[in-house]
Structure 1
């Protein structure tokens, strides 16, 4: 049942979708596999979906924890409008409990006061257009938990010719999954590991729903997918696990899905775990290539080879990068290799137009 079906707007927050009443009087949230069951006034683990009276509301609708212009490569997306600028936007809260969260001050926030900026869907779309951004990314915290807000913003963006990007852990139930990713032009999904043990112990969630999300995006939507795995020393970087993960990606998603291996740095509850050595990223990339993946990248490090898009046909370097900066771009107008004609999978503009490079520019939305 959707709160929008038969209830008026509550005094606090915006009506939420994907919930139903239980026989014992509680309300169950149906957005993600946590299935939080709430009494009056309680919030789900994400902290932004709350029971108010006999309905559920999204407490962060129309409020932002910050907006910035970034290079699209920072999401990271290497095959989606390379070199372009993206307006990055988030709220607060998260439906996972990752001990290694790199954005914990936002995603783990329990203070709605961190949401300083009013940001309507139309205001966000207009800010993106006015700043010259080619897309808006729902990021910083997981957009799954503010799905209604992100979807309304996606509609506003599409009306102005702005594309949309979801940066997410992919922990979402089937019905909202279909509605949410139908609104997204691209997604980077965090595949945090390839064992359920890791997901349970380090994130408080499960692996299977994430794998379902990855397959849904590839096989049932037009949304462009790239995957990121943050390699944490001793926890998810073994050769056996990386072989199993990349074999699964090649077999179930296809060899053309780009995979990013990113370096961990000590943060949040894992301050005593060492940073990922570059040799681990290089090893992971080689394993993935050996398993048949064609586009594998290293992130959070300076690595010329690991940042370059190579033609799978003739091995020519086509897009060379240094971290988030595009140094050289050689694709033809059709997104193909100028040397052998092999088409590179992705979403490429007919002409390469460099955005703002590695600069990160805060954006404010004028009051309505």
Structure 2
């Protein structure tokens, strides 16, 4: 049981690393964020990553994502992939990336498998091999070893061990793993955002070499530059794939406390993506999700996100995955079933037509 450093409340729903409760984040944001940023600095220093988004006025600017780092001489960007060497931005390129991948049999435990072509046959026969789950086919799951956020509860935090290692993979090596039983490629991580030039190039090469179904999908925090989002949408739209936006929180202060950065670009990008949903009814082009972190993501937060999504398009599928204690928030409990059901109810009441609870096997009683 941890204690909030601001109000003194003690609870099992307060992160011992964050040291501040949800109520104080909402009512005393300036003080709460000061505490939260200390936690993020400690977390990032342990992996040799910049403790804050570099904003040197004389630094080299990187425009890949919303952080828009201005990297000082000899320094690196927030994601850890690009450096300022003699006034030039060097690091990951469209042909070299830091990633790993594997073939995952369909249907799979994907955020969107309950509405996507691989999990349901949506869009058959143009976008799916089967009028139902694509049994016998594979998803090429591509995991990128870097991220533009610093989520203290990261469910795949181990990628940080690889971010600064001096190795890269050639784009052609990834493309050669796309075989005749591969019906979709899904980029996740970490996050694809800091390595999108690589992922976009790989996707185009793979699509050009195929005459049958090959969907391009993304699981992302949505922090990429607008022009890169447009390219992602183009590839997903024509291939039958989707973009799955992970909306961590609606309240910007809470988002900063949990992830270290703002959610403004994410909300802008999903708004832009939603405008294209009418170009293809099935499978859905845009999917959203919010991890139900006990003590921090409650019904009010889900209601705000759901109302926002419904205002864009009430047909956006919205998944509420259960939380597994990880990384610097491993002292929090698993998501209780009661919280998941309340959040499911408020999301539906907000006007969303397709809402789903994910990872139900790890929900706890109560």
TM-score, structure 2 as length reference = 0.69
Give the Cα separation in 2 of the matches to 1:127 and 1:229.
Answer: 31
Task: Tell me which residue corresponds to 1:197.
Answer: 253
Q: Please list every run of 5 or more consecutive structure 2 residues that lacks an aligned counterpart in the other structure.
A: 1-54, 120-132
**Corresponding residue of 1:269:** 328
Pick from 271, 286, 295 the counterpart of residue 225 of structure 1. Answer: 286
What pairs up with 1:1-368 in 2 under 5 angstroms? 25-59=58-92, 61-70=95-104, 71=106, 73-77=108-112, 78-81=114-117, 82=119, 83-84=133-134, 85-107=138-160, 109-112=162-165, 118-120=169-171, 122-130=172-180, 132-161=181-210, 162-184=214-236, 185-220=241-276, 224-237=285-298, 239-252=299-312, 254-302=313-361
CA distance, structure 2, for counterparts of residue 110 and residue 127 of structure 1:
22
Greater mean alpha carbon deviation, residues 169-178 or residues 96-105: 169-178
Higher strand share: 1
Do the aligned residues in 1 keep the contact of 2:140 with 2:186 (CA within 8 Å)? yes
* Distance in structure 2 (CA, Å) of the matches to 1:160 and 1:72: 24
CA 1:276/1:24 → structure 2, altered by over 3 Å: closer, same or farther? closer
Aligned position for 1:350: none
Superposition deviation, residue 64 in structure 1: 4.6
Cα distance in 1, alignment partners of residues 178 and 98 from structure 2: 14
Give the drift of 1:170: 0.2
Question: Relative to 1, partners in 2 of residues 1:80 and 1:141: Cα closer, same or farther, differing over 3 Å?
Answer: same
Contact 1:98 / 1:203 at 8 angstroms: preserved in 2?
yes
Q: Distance in 2 between matches of 1:276 and 1:69?
A: 29
Residues 23, 196 of structure 1: alpha-carbon distance in 2 compared, 3 angstrom cutoff: closer
Give the deviation of 1:90 after TM superposition: 2.1
Residue of structure 2 equivalent to 1:336: none
3-state SS, counterpart of residue 155 of structure 1: helix
Alpha-carbon offset, residue 111 of structure 1: 3.3
5+ long unaligned stretches in structure 1: 1-21, 304-368
CA distance in 2, matches of 1:135, 1:212: 26
CA change 1:202–1:245 in 2 (3 A) is same
Q: What root-mean-square deviation, in Å, do the aligned CA atoms of Structure 1 and Structure 2 show?
A: 2.5
Shift of 1:63: 4.1
Give the conservation status (yes or no) of the 8 Å contact 2:84–2:90.
yes
Pick the structure with more helix per residue. Answer: 2
For these two proteins, the number of residue pairs brought into alignment is 276
Change in CA separation of 1:119 and 1:282 when aligned onto 2, cut-off 3 Å: farther
1:142-173 deviations in Å (ceiling 9; x for gaps):
10100110110110121133221111000123
Cα contact 1:194–1:236 (8 A) shared by 2: no
Q: Distance in 2 between matches of 1:270 and 1:218?
A: 32
